[in-house]
Structure 1
Amino acid sequence: MTRIVFLDRSTIGPSVTLTKPSFPHEWIEHERTRPDQVVERLAGAQIAVSNKVPIRRNAIEKLPDLKMICIPATGYDAFDIDACGERGIVVSNVRGYAVNTVPEHTFALILALRRGLAGYRQDVIDGRWQESQQFCFHTHPINDLAGSTLGIIGEGAIGQSVARLGQAFGMRTLFAAHKNVQGLGPLYTPFDEVLATSDVITLHCPLTPATRDTLAAPEFAKMKKRPLIINCGRGGLVNEKDLVEALESGQIAGVGFDCLTSEPPLPDNPLLTVLNRPNVIVTPHVAWASQEAMQTLWDQVILHIDNFHAGRPSNRVV
Structure 2
Amino acid sequence: MKQVCYFERLLDAALFARTLTQDGDIALTRIDREMNDTAVTDALAMVHGYHTRGSRSLIPAHFVIDRDFIARCPNLLAVCTGGAGYDSIDVEDCSEAGILVANQAGLNAQAVAEHAVAMMLCLTKKIAQVNQALRRDPDLDRFAYRNDDIFGQTLGVVGLGHIGARVAEICQTAFGMTVLATHPRLNPDQAAQRNATLVAFPELLEKADFVLVSCGLNDETRGMFGAAEFARMKPSAYFITIGRGGIHDEDALARALQAGQLAGAGLDVWRQEPPPIDHPLLAFDNVLASPHIAALTHQSAQKAMKGAAIQWRQILNGEFPPRCVNPNVWPKFAERFEAIMGRPASGHPG
* Length-normalised TM-score, structure 2: 0.80
- Indicate conservation of the 8 Å contact 2:105/2:162, yes or no: no
Match for residue 45 of structure 2? 43
Which letter does structure 1 place at the counterpart of 2:159? G
Determine if contact 2:154/2:179 at 8 Å carries over to the other structure.
yes
Counterpart Cα distance in 2 of 1:284 and 1:86? 34
Runs of at least 4 residues off by over 4 Å:
13-18, 34-38
- For the 8 Å contact 1:90–1:313, the answer to whether it is kept is no
Q: Which residue of 1 aligns with 2:199?
A: 189
CA distance in 2, matches of 1:15, 1:308: 20
Structure 2 counterpart SS, 1:144: coil
Residues 116 and 278 in structure 1, CA contact (< 8 A), matched pair in contact too = no
CA deviation map 1:173-217 (0-9, x unaligned) = 111365xx9x95464122212111211111111111111122111
**CA shift at 1:23, angstroms?**
4.2
Structure 1 residue aligned with 2:147: 142
Secondary structure in structure 1 of the residue aligned to 2:236: coil
- Runs of 5+ consecutive residues of structure 2 not aligned to the other structure: 190-196, 327-350
Q: Deviations over 1:25-50 (max 9, x none)?
A: 322134x4369855454232222111
Percent of aligned pairs sharing the same letter: 29
Is the deviation greater in 60-69 or in 238-247?
60-69
Contact 1:197 1:225 in 2 (8 A): no
Deviation at 1:98, TM superposition (A): 1.8
CA deviation after TM superposition for structure 1 residue 311, in Å: 1.3
Matched with 2:159 is 154
Separation of aligned partners in 2, 1:246 and 1:256 = 14
- Listed as ranges, the gaps of 5+ residues in structure 1 are none
- Residue 88 of structure 1 deviates from its aligned partner by 1.6
Query: Aligned partners of 2:106 and 2:309: how far apart in 1?
Result: 15
Give the match for residue 243 of structure 1.
Answer: 253
Residue number in structure 1 paired with 2:341: none
Distance change in 2, residues 1:259/1:298 (3 Å) = same
Give the one of 75, 78, 89 matched to 1:68: 78
Post-superposition CA distance 1:267-316 (Å, at most 9, x none): 78xxx223243211110111111111111111111111111222113022
Superposed CA deviations along residues 195-254 of structure 1, whole A, max 9, x for unmatched, are 112111111111111111221111111113431100011111111111110000011110
Q: Does 1:234 align with 2:233?
A: no
Residue 266 of structure 1 and its aligned partner are, at CA, apart by: 5.1
1:316 to 315, 324, 348: 324
* Secondary structure of the structure 2 residue equivalent to 1:12: coil
Question: Offset of 1:122 from its aligned partner?
Answer: 0.6
Partner Cα separation in structure 1 for residue 48 and residue 104 of structure 2: 19
Distance across 2 between alignment mates of 1:35 and 1:86: 28
Measure the CA separation in 2 of the matches of 1:184 and 1:218: 26
Cα shift at 1:96: 1.2
| 1:265-284 map, 5 Å | 265=275, 272-284=279-291
Rounded Cα–Cα distance in structure 1 between residues aligned with 2:90 and 2:35: 13
Count of residues in Structure 1 that have an aligned counterpart in Structure 2: 305
User: What letter matches 1:290 in structure 2?
Assistant: T
Cα distance change on mapping 1:23 and 1:62 into 2, 3 Å: same
Greater share of helix residues, 1 or 2?
2
Query: Structure 2 residue aligned with 1:80, among 84, 87, 90?
Result: 90
1:86, distance to aligned residue in structure 2 (A): 2.1
Structure 2 CA distance for partners of 1:242 and 1:6, relative to 1, 3 Å: same
What is residue 164 of structure 1 aligned with on the other side? 169
Equivalent AA in structure 2 for residue 252 of structure 1 = L
Asked if structure 1 preserves the Cα contact closer than 8 Å seen for 2:156 and 2:180, the reply is yes
Shift of 1:257: 0.6
The match for 1:290 is 297
* Map 1:75-114 → 2, pairs under 5 A: 75-114=85-124
- 1:208 pairs, out of 202, 205, 218, with 218
Specify the code of the residue in structure 1 equivalent to 2:3: R
C-alpha separation in 2, matches of 1:124 and 1:114? 17
Aligned mates of 2:146, 2:283 — CA distance in 1: 17
